[in-house]
Chains A and B, each alone.
Chain A
Amino acid sequence: MLSSFQRWGLIAGGAGLLLALAPARAAVTVEFDIQPRVLHVGESAQAQFTVRGEKRPTTPPLQNLPGLQVSDPAVGSQTTIINGRVDHFVTFTYQLMPTRTGRIKVGPQRYLTGGQSFALAEIELQVLPLNAATDNTPATAGAAGASSLADLVFARLTAEPVTVYQQQSFTIQLAVYFRDINLDRNISLSNWQPEGLSLSAFQELAGTRAVISNQIYNVRQFRCQARALSSGRISLTPTVRGGLVIPRARRQRGGVFSDPFMDSFFDNPFFAQSEIRPIDIDLTPLDITVKPWPAEGRPPNFSGAVGRFTMEARVQPQDVAVGDPVTVTVQLEGQGNLETLAAPVLAASDNFKVYEAKLTSKDVNDTQTAGRKVFEQVLIPRSTAATNLPALAFSYFNPGKGVYETLTRGPFRLQVRPSAAGAVAILKAGELAPTATPEGRDIVYLKPAPARWASAPQGSWLTSPGFWGLQALPLLAVGVTRLISRRRAALSQDLRRARRLRAPRSARAAIRQAEIALRQGQRGPFFEALWTALAAYFGNRLNLAPGEVSFEALAAAAQRAATPPALLERIRRLLAQCEQERFGRATHPEQGAPALPADEGEPLIEELQALLRAFERIRL
């Protein structure tokens, strides 16, 4: 347990540590601002003093201002610690109520605090008469008939500058002015694909107010960066679309459910019902003139860089042996078309073998208009005479001055020693010869003949229509299999239909047995097989149990299906013949079973097949 003394000691220690971390004494700064600066009589503005670096500043005097009623100041203070940096400021806020129209100047004034005196600049307020103001409902504004929609809301598109050079970056600003209406937050641009311009996304700036024709407009401002890709005249005619927020008609009041509390509750803006109607905001087109780069004074190494740039270059190492790589690092920094900026490169020479310059680092802002690019190019000295690396030159067009400027770094001195491995010859590409290739560094020898020589050019079969037609087969198979699978599933649920479909197949097997018996001349097995075929077919076809197949059952079912009597009679005769042969021989075994001649059996098989085919066509 800590004693009270120890606890207070710890608190004091912590506070002391905080004080020790805090800067000894920050410089005192004072800011003074009034917003809004344009207002009507009856509206109030806020004047705010922000004093930084002073814990107990004196209250700034803001009294006896002609044309303004000034309230007592509201005092607030805030301390923030970010990354160990303590920021403490005190604010004094006054409400200013204009009592007359016209321009009212506040200041300039001096403010004394902490023994220091601060000069505060003059701020001018513009106060408009009350009749210039309207209420906030568009319906009222419309009823007054004083303003059209184009007066209430319009947009202006501006460019800075309006005349630019090819590849020059510039700013396009869209300002939407509105008054006496509620404009939805969402504002969109259509038809905003100007050819010949590379555009960044629009960013919204802080809102402001402006006085136009003695009317106060709220202004929403958007800005984007543009770059002209080619010379010519570019006309920007976008359509600005906004949303007009219109309150819906309020509920009828009165009646037994009228309740002042509920009315006021639902009249709360949170519950206010309103609708947004899209409107096209009036906009004057903007024409931009893009001038080509002047031909006069264009340096030969100019590669389309436009803007203002600085260049740094260094060569490392500067003491090398022949054949060792030397890296030239070039850093280009500035404002302009950095995205398309190419490195200034050193050309190949007899003294140096050069590799392509590579971009190793890029740090460009979101709008691609300012930043830094670092390139590296590797060179290899061919001989000890390669001691002088020529100067690097980078030319760009400065649109502000309208002239070409060239930055030059170098030439650079190198100490080139003979190679430790001896004379390593580095050849120019056009001087390659087999005898001159260094040992151990050569191309791989020839490939042996291919195992198979193709008959057609590579890939021709792969893209032939026949090949692709063949690929339909698996899809077809999948489709058919799916149908079979679904049919199986359906049949497993519907036994009657399954047996109906199985009927011809079951008869077919028995007919084959009958044909075998006929070939062997066996009367008994032949008629047994005929009976089996009839029983299997009609049993499955009529969904009968094996023992239930009889002519009576068949006749009853056939009667319902309106089977021709002649067909029934033929079936009856065949069944009777089968039964007679099967059971007649069994009851008189002493008579024996005579052989079955083919001219007796074949008509019976044909008759059986004809009967089954005919019955197959009957819908039961």
Chain B
Amino acid sequence: MEEYLTLLSFGPNGWGDEILLGTKMTVGLALATLPVGFILGLMVALAKRSQEPSLRAAANVYTTIFRGLPELLTLFLVYYGVQILVQSAVQYFGYEHFEVNAFVAGMVALALVFSSYASEAFLSAFKAIPQGQYEGAYALGISRTKTFWLVIFPQLIRLSLAALNNLWLVLLKDTALVSIIGLNDLIRYSNTAARVSKEPFLFFSVACAIYLVLAMLSSVGLSRIEKWANRGEVSK
């Protein structure tokens, strides 16, 4: 028992500080991806609701691709694909070396996946907003932009919150994949610790436990947001 505690301690003999660093990276990546994915998803949802057929078609291609590909493959496509593309472009201009940042590649890939799922969530929320809301705003002489931001958007958030909660938890778990392209996240540090200490079960259990704690913390936060979003509802 004592040796396990030593292994998990924060001193030079323990892996506690590394695991903490990895946790920070995991949370940081998820938090950095969230706004990008959110905005992209909203834009794709708006595109899918457009009157313009070409815009709808383009948005549908987007979601078909990024919902159909495994997250791991999306990550590799972004990481190696961008690397190869930029490398050849850079060589053309005479530079030698270019390396894609694993964090940025992970963020882009996860945002692509997140946004294509989020767009579906937004789309069904849009469908739940009655037409009368737009008509009422029009009758009051509110401009289209203002109607969207002041009337539709707050309702949209409330209606899509449950789905977005789920997507956030999925995103948090998907960050684990970024360890494979070499980002020092929780899984990667656990892997290193497991190899060096020859205690794989201990370190992967700790990693799983940390993911569970993160999920619990987020569900506490999310239920608060939900309460805030539903504050206008009549309490039962």
A binds B: no
